[in-house]
């Protein structure tokens, strides 16, 4: 009887690319389903329009009475676009997005009905959210959670639902989502960076952190994916022998995009245009069937929302094209995994990119100030930054040989290294006029406006300066960017606050000129932050040794890495900046270690099931065929049969050995799971799952993969790597 695998392969071969019709111009439909400025001008009264804009631009509170006007305008706009429902759209700590739809439709007492959406419904909702992770916060305080409108991210329509971006908080005020701390961090960053930017330009009144993510993903045919319980349930393969051909030839990267995939991308981009997600770049990635999509960068809160929304839309559009999207960081062993580079910078309301070198020495001193402070922040809080990208799935990628290592370091390129080396020599105290002129002309003034260190753009660095922005490359493809962005903005903000204090005190107490003070502080920072700078091969073993000498952390697993989130230092940082309280941090840590254990537990169960229900029965079937063959040979050749059946006999034995190893592996793994489950403490349980349960995955997989090579291809039930990776 043919297996599911063959039906699926046949189905895949018969696929035809879905036809896509594109608008004449994408710019004509961009943001069509977003309640953006243009829509607000049309649907809101002048007063309510102004109040929303004030909230967006300067965080001013929107009056409750105004909310009624806004909601009415929003409703009229949404209904005109075919929406029937509305939802508070939020990002709970599950990693996914959440929504509960309510109809605008309401009945009146006289049996008639209307469409209604009041200010109260816009501003606040109380989802029955008892099943979202809360790390004990809501139990402790016996409080419920509510969602509250975030006017800085515009409402949008997806399908027939008006989606209102919201934060999710407990009634006692603790954040229960990713967005709340991010918004707080961005606010702190705004004020800290504005204060420092004012040294250089008094007209700066607002600084926005910008984010441009690059989303990597794999596409697998829906039918093929359905034959694999591991892909269906865990989003990655837990076993499977590597394909004879993988990515060795580099013939996929930037190659021509297969038509079926291209049509998927075009369809997806069409949806993105309507939703105002400014997607721009698409290409094949390194591994077979791996792709990337990147937008034009935006203000960070919006960019984070857009990435979460995008992932959701990608899943939905994929179904129309009979694909399943894999966001997992390492869906296939032996080929590249997926990341989500976070390109990050700071922009002023005067239109200046603070991490972009400028055309004058003064502008470059401003650039260097923000640049060096960023290095300082990363040096000081490298462990926390590492923790912000930790997850069970990213563990497979960090430190694997094609991904950034679990060690955080910064790459800045040779030009800037030279500049910092020069600045390190600046005189202690007041600078002579000659030295200042010299610095301005020959060091600071010489930084070219366009700083593309193309020759040695180091792809192995987890945090690289790429000309006019930093690129945090260690973020996992399935992650919510809010987590690393909260940390990065918080640590740089904290650093800028400290910097300002130091410079001000030199100006006030030491009577230094502003420039002198800045040069003096920067000089010390360059020395202090040296250990975080690394220009070499981040994948090499030599770097691990060197990093250890430098005292940099190298946490290879999530439970290990997450400790930094609740260290005294992190708690002090977040509390000082008013971004998260100790309670919130501890709750998050509890949720994250629990999530880790659950994921490993689920994968362990899936692997056990596949090995026992798919692999072993298939191996036994094949073994029986061999046994029959040997029996037949014996019938024909009598006691001479051994001469003709040596290979078969050996296979029979090998199969038995693998089966017994698999069985033992599973039994032992289940024993360890049982032990782990009895551990009360969440963190200790995560460590047990990491160190005691997970190691069995490799053992079990090894023997399953060996069987895949031995057993007749025709009866093997699980779609093979070559089919998953090379079927277009
Ligand atoms: P790559 O890293 O693949 O070589 P680019 O350097 O061109 O590609 O840019 C990658 C991403 O960086 C894009 O998503 C882009 O929007 C983003 N980006 C560019 N400038 C900034 C900035 N000032 N702030 C944040 N992101 C930016
Ligand atoms: Mg990049």
Domain end (from 516, 549, 580): 580
Is 495 found in the same domain as 372?
yes
CA of 392 to the centre of ligand 2 (A): 23
- Residue 261: per-residue pLDDT: 94
Q: Helix (H, G, I), strand (E, B), or coil: what is residue 498?
A: helix
The closest alpha carbon to 150, from 172, 122, 174, 127, belongs to 122
Is 282 found in the same domain as 395?
yes
Contact 330, 400 (CB under 8 A): yes
| Token pair belonging to 101 | 């739809």
CA of 285 to the centre of ligand 2 (A): 12
Is 344 found in the same domain as 215?
yes
ipTM value of the model?
0.95
Confidence at 115, pLDDT banded by 50, 70, 90: very high
- Residue 138: per-residue pLDDT: 57
Q: What is the pLDDT of residues 391-418, one digit of tens each?
A: 999 999 987 666 678 999 999 998 899 9
Domain end (from 526, 552, 580): 580
Is 225 found in the same domain as 97?
no
The closest alpha carbon to 15, from 199, 259, 225, 215, belongs to 259
Position of tokens 């006692």?
Answer: 172
Ligand 1 pocket mutation, candidates 301, 343, 374, criterion most atoms within 8 A of CB? 343
Q: CA–CA distance from 651 to each of 130, 619, 623, 627 (Å)? A: 54, 11, 8, 10
Confidence at 359, pLDDT banded by 50, 70, 90: confident
Which ligand lies nearest to the CA atom of residue 352 in the structure? 1
Mean pLDDT of 601-618: 98
In a domain, 228, yes or no: yes
Share of the chain above pLDDT 90, in %: 80
Ligand 1 atom showing the smallest separation from residue 355 Cα: 23
Confidence at 141, pLDDT banded by 50, 70, 90: very low
Share of the chain above pLDDT 70, in %: 96
Is 369 found in the same domain as 517?
yes
In a domain, 25, yes or no: no
Is 212 found in the same domain as 87?
no
- Residue 449: per-residue pLDDT: 72
In a domain, 378, yes or no: yes
The answer on pLDDT for 173 being more than 90 is: no
Domain end (from 112, 142, 174): 174
Name the residue range of residue 99's domain. 31-174
Is 474 found in the same domain as 427?
yes
Pick the residue with more confidence: 539 or 154?
154
Ligand 1 atom showing the smallest separation from residue 356 Cα: 23
Q: Mean pLDDT score of the chain, rounded to an integer?
A: 93
In a domain, 5, yes or no: no
Which ligand lies nearest to the CA atom of residue 341 in the structure? 2
Instruction: Report the interhelical angle of 361-380 vs 514-528 (nearest 10°).
Output: 40
Cα gap 349→371, rounded to integer Å: 19
How many domains are contained in the chain? 3
In a domain, 181, yes or no: no
Q: What is the pLDDT of residues 370-390, one digit of tens each?
A: 999 999 999 999 999 999 999
Sign of CA dihedral 225, 230, 233, 235: negative
Instruction: Report the interhelical angle of 582-610 vs 641-677 (nearest 10°).
Output: 160
Is 525 found in the same domain as 668?
no
Q: What is the pLDDT of residues 42-86, one digit of tens each?
A: 999 999 999 999 998 888 889 888 999 999 999 999 999 999 999
Question: Concatenated DSSP letters for 437-493?
Answer: HHIIIIIGGGS-SS---GGG--TT-SEEE-SSSEEE---BTTS-THHHHHHHHHHHH
Cα gap 587→181, rounded to integer Å: 13
Ligand 1 atom showing the smallest separation from residue 344 Cα: 25
Contact 288, 252 (CB under 8 A): yes
The answer on pLDDT for 143 being more than 60 is: no
The closest alpha carbon to 397, from 313, 480, 341, 323, belongs to 341
Is 158 found in the same domain as 227?
no
Is 295 found in the same domain as 212?
yes
The CATH number that applies at residue 357 is 3.30.590.10
Is 249 found in the same domain as 148?
no
In a domain, 301, yes or no: yes
- The model's pTM: 0.96
Which ligand lies nearest to the CA atom of residue 404 in the structure? 2
| Token pair belonging to 202 | 């008094």
The answer on pLDDT for 2 being more than 80 is: no
Of the candidate ranges 126-140, 232-246, 352-366, 653-667, the one whose mean pLDDT is the lowest: 126-140
Ligand 1 atom showing the smallest separation from residue 294 Cα: 14
Vertex 481 angle, CA 225 and 376, to 5°: 135
Write out residues with Cβ below 6 Å of ligand 1.
Answer: 210-212, 214, 294-297, 343-345, 353, 466, 468-469
| Token pair belonging to 550 | 């430098």
CA of 297 to the centre of ligand 1 (A): 7
In a domain, 553, yes or no: yes
Q: Helix (H, G, I), strand (E, B), or coil: what is residue 568?
A: helix
Q: Residues within 5 Å of ion ligand 2 by Cβ?
A: 341
Ligand 1 atom showing the smallest separation from residue 297 Cα: 16
Q: What is the pLDDT of residues 254-310, one digit of tens each?
A: 678 889 999 999 999 999 999 999 999 999 988 899 999 999 999 999 999 999 999
Position of tokens 């204090």?
Answer: 501
Instruction: Report the interhelical angle of 414-423 vs 514-528 (nearest 10°).
Output: 120
Is 266 found in the same domain as 159?
no
The CATH number that applies at residue 718 is 1.20.120.1560
- Residue 140: per-residue pLDDT: 47
- Residue 440: per-residue pLDDT: 87
Q: CA–CA distance from 176 to each of 123, 274, 593 (Å)? A: 17, 29, 16
In a domain, 269, yes or no: yes
CA of 698 to the centre of ligand 1 (A): 37
Ligand 1 pocket mutation, candidates 207, 216, 294, criterion most atoms within 8 A of CB? 294
CA of 550 to the centre of ligand 2 (A): 27
Confidence at 245, pLDDT banded by 50, 70, 90: confident
Ligand 1 pocket mutation, candidates 297, 456, 467, criterion most atoms within 8 A of CB? 297
Q: What is the pLDDT of residues 447-467, one digit of tens each?
A: 877 666 554 567 788 999 999
Say how many Å lie between the first and final Cα of the chain, rounded: 26
The answer on pLDDT for 241 being more than 50 is: yes
What is the length of the chain? 728
């Amino acid at each position: 009887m043919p297996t599911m695998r063959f039906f699926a392969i046949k189905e895949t071969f018969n696929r035809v690319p879905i036809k896509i019709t594109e608008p004449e111009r994408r710019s004509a439909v961009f943001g069509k389903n977003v309640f953006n400025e243009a829509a607000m001008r049309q649907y809101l009264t002048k007063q309510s329009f102004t109040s929303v804009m004030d909230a967006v631009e300067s965080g001013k509170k929107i009056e409750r009475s105004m909310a009624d006007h806004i909601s009415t305008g929003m409703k009229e706009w949404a209904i005109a676009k075919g929406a029937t429902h509305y939802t508070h759209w939020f990002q709970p700590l599950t990693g996914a997005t959440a929504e509960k739809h309510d109809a605008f439709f309401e009945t009146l007492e006289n049996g008639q009905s209307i469409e209604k959406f009041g200010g109260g419904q816009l501003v606040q909702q109380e989802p029955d959210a008892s099943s979202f992770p809360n790390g004990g916060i809501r139990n402790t305080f016996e409080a419920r959670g509510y969602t509250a409108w975030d006017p800085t991210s515009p409402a949008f329509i997806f399908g027939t639902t008006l989606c209102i971006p919201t934060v999710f908080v407990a009634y006692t005020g603790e954040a229960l989502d990713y967005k709340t701390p991010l918004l707080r961090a961005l606010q702190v960053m705004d004020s800290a960076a504005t204060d420092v930017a004012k040294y250089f330009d008094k007209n700066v009144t607002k600084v926005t952190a910008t984010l441009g993510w690059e989303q990597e993903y794999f596409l697998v045919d829906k039918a093929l994916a359905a034959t694999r319980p591991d892909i269906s349930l865990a989003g990655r393969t837990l076993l499977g022998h590597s394909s004879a051909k993988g990515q060795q030839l580099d013939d996929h990267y930037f190659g021509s995009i297969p038509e079926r995939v291209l049509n998927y991308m075009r369809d997806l981009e069409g949806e993105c245009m309507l939703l105002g997600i400014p997607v721009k770049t698409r290409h094949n990635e390194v591994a077979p069937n791996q792709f990337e999509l990147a937008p034009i960068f935006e203000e960070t809160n919006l960019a984070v929302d857009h990435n979460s929304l995008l992932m959701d839309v990608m899943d939905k559009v994929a179904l129309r094209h009979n694909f399943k999207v894999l966001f997992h960081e390492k869906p296939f062993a032996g080929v590249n995994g997926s990341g989500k580079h976070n390109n990050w910078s700071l922009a002023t309301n005067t239109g200046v990119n603070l991490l972009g070198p400028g055309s004058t020495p003064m502008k470059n001193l401003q650039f260097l100030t923000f640049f060096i402070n960023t290095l300082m922040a990363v040096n000081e809080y490298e462990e926390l930054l590492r923790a912000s990208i930790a997850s069970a799935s990213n563990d497979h990628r960090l430190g694997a040989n094609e991904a950034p290592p679990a060690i955080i370091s910064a790459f800045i390129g040779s030009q800037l290294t030279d500049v910092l080396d020069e600045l390190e020599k600046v005189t202690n105290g007041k600078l002579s006029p000659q030295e200042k002129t010299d610095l301005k002309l020959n060091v600071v003034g010489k930084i070219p406006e366009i700083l593309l260190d193309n020759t040695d753009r180091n792809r192995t660095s987890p945090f690289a300066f790429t000309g006019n922005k930093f690129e945090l490359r260690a973020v996992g493809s399935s992650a919510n960017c809010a987590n690393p962005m909260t940390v990065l903005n918080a640590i740089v903000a904290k650093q800028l606050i400290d910097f300002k204090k130091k410079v001000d005190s030199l100006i006030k107490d030491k009577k230094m000129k502003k420039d002198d003070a800045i040069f003096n502080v920067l000089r010390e920072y360059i020395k202090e932050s040296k250990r975080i700078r690394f220009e070499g091969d981040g994948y090499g073993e030599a770097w691990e040794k060197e990093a250890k000498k430098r005292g940099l952390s190298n946490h290879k697993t999530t439970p290990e890495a997450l400790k930094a989130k609740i260290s005294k230092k992190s708690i002090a940082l977040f509390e000082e900046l008013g971004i998260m309280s100790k309670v919130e941090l501890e709750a998050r840590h509890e949720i994250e270690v629990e999530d880790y254990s659950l994921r490993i537990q689920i994968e362990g169960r899936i692997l056990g099931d596949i090995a026992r229900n798919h692999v072993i029965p298939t191996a036994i079937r094949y073994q029986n065929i061999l046994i029959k063959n040997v029996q037949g040979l014996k019938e024909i050749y009598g006691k001479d049969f051994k001469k003709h059946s040596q290979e078969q006999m050996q296979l029979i034995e090998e199969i038995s050995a693998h089966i017994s190893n698999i069985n033992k592996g599973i039994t032992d793994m289940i024993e360890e799971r049982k032990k782990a489950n009895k551990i009360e403490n969440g963190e200790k349980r995560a460590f047990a799952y990491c160190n005691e349960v997970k190691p069995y995955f490799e053992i079990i997989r090894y023997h399953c993969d060996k069987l895949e090579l031995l057993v007749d291809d025709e009866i093997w039930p699980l779609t093979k790597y070559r089919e998953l990776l090379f079927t277009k």
